[in-house]
Amino acid sequence: MQKIAIENGRIIDPANQTDSIGSLYIAEGHVIAVNETPGDFTPDIVIDAQNQIVCPGFIDISTRLRQPGQSHKATIKSETRAAASAGVTTLVLQADTKPAADTPAILELIKDLADKADYPNIVTIGALTQKLEGQELSPMLALKQAGCIAVGNAGKPVSNLLILRRAMEYAASHDLLLIYRPHEHSLGNKGCAHEGAVATRYGLPGIPYTAETIALAQCLELAEQTGCRVHFGQISCKRSLIKIQQAKKYGLDVSADIAIHQLHLTENDMEPFDSAYHVLPPLRSDQDKQALRDALSQGVITVLCSDHQPHDLDAKLGAFPETEPGMASIETLLSLMLKLVNDKTISLSQGIAALTCNPASILRLPSGSLSVGMIADICVFDAHMNWTIDSTTWKSKGLNTPFWGSTLSGRVTHTLQSGKIIYSLN
């Protein structure tokens, strides 16, 4: 395996509270030294990172790669290529593959596809219930033994609270994290937009914030009763943040993430109903967006994700309510995080932590830092390089982004996975 030196970069490693100009040395897939050149080290490759940031590779805690089952939308090969160009070195795959990730055989298939794509760091959330139908519990122990790092129902409903309670008891007994996107489907009522001024004005079926907060409150009660570790995915409204903050205050082992687009877009951006803005949970109010930003700044929420969901063109054609929800967003993750830094919502170290050591800690992954001896998953990026989102720069098969044609700041120049360069801008 090649020896690599990354020289003269600004090394930011929140896990070790490092922020300094220096060099990083890599051999046998691991970080072997920081700043001090090891004896008899002759690099095969030297990366000049002057005026660039060197940090741990990003861990995206919520993605859909559309394979197996929907390769007409995207493939593991196409989306891992997009991930590599975005500095993402670990992808956490939701369980709603087709078929659902509810057996060791499906996990093995995903692993094979990841290996063939030459991107082995895909970890899968096992299905909480069989076929994600919310009726019968999945074989969680077998899923854990097959490599799943957590369980969840990928936003699909669980038929009743007794089943959810049993599932959480089962998960807790196997020390499995529950990743739960709170959504009370009966209140959601097949809506497509935030139940607010915009939805009312244009007659769109709305989703109230209570669809999220009621489901979240129920899960918090069960977390206290069962002792299950819970990570809440894609929080979108102010009232949810208050409940999470209170739960943490009283000692519950809970955490949460925010999809990056929720920190930049609101219901007002939906006009004139471009289906690229159709996401679940829906884009909420300006007040909710500001509350999400405050929660990230204050450490109530510690993880950012892309919630990447590539679609084919047919899925996004038609009237707004008839289109499929979801945004292709992994390639805008870094730039939108940097925009939060430029807006002075968070520091650069906070933003990098939200994409590296914080998700690693929640998922108990052996990555997310640049400590000597750690696996060399690394991102090198130029925070000031502008790029335009178009067919010459975009890697994902999903073109469903509302930022198409926009010029953003922040471009990854190199991505390393286990000490191997898997992306280079030039």
DSSP 349-407: HHHHHHHTHHHHHHHT-S-SS--TTSB--EEEEEEEEEEE-STTT--SS----TTTT-E
Is 307 known to be catalytic? yes
Q: Per residue in 372-419, pLDDT tens? A: 999 999 999 999 999 999 999 999 999 999 999 999 999 999 999 999
pLDDT of residue 272: 76
**What pLDDT score does 287 carry?**
98
Query: Does position 271 have pLDDT exceeding 80, yes or no?
Result: no
| pLDDT range class, residue 4, cuts 50, 70, 90 | very high
pLDDT, tens only, 21-54 = 999 999 999 999 999 999 889 999 999 999 999 9
Strands 58-63 and 88-93: parallel
pTM: 0.97
Q: Is the alpha carbon torsion for 179, 252, 349, 338 positive or negative? A: positive
- pLDDT above 90 for 426: no
Cα separation of 307 and 167, whole Å? 24
Catalytic residue among 294, 307, 314, 343: 307
Instruction: For residues 203 and 64, give the distance between their C-alpha atoms in angstroms, rounded to a whole number.
Output: 30
13 bridge partner residues: 18
Question: Average pLDDT over the chain, rounded to whole?
Answer: 97
Give the whole-number percent of the chain exceeding pLDDT 90: 97
Predicted confidence (pLDDT) at residue 363 exceeds the cutoff of 80: yes
pLDDT in tens, 135-147: 999 999 999 999 9
Please give the backbone phi and psi of residue 9, each rounded to the nearest 5 degrees, phi first.
-90, 165
Determine contact, residues 299/245, Cβ cutoff 8 Å.
no
Question: What is the pLDDT, as a whole number, of residue 147?
Answer: 95
Q: Decide if pLDDT at 273 tops 90.
A: no
DSSP 68-131: TT-TTT--HHHHHHHHHHTTEEEEEE-S--SS-S-SHHHHHHHHHHHHHTT---EEEEEESBGG
Q: What is the mean pLDDT of residues 58-70?
A: 97
* Residue 63 binned pLDDT confidence (cut-offs 50, 70, 90): very high
Q: Give strand pairing partners of 11.
A: 20, 54
How remote is the C-alpha of 68 from its chain's centroid? 19
pLDDT tens sequence across 200-225? 999 999 999 999 999 999 999 999 99
212-263 pLDDT, tens digit per residue, is: 999 999 999 999 999 999 999 999 999 999 999 999 999 999 999 999 999 9
Model confidence pLDDT, tens digit, residues 290-325:
999 999 999 999 999 999 999 999 999 999 999 999
**Rounded Cα–Cα distance for residues 174 and 171 (Å):** 5
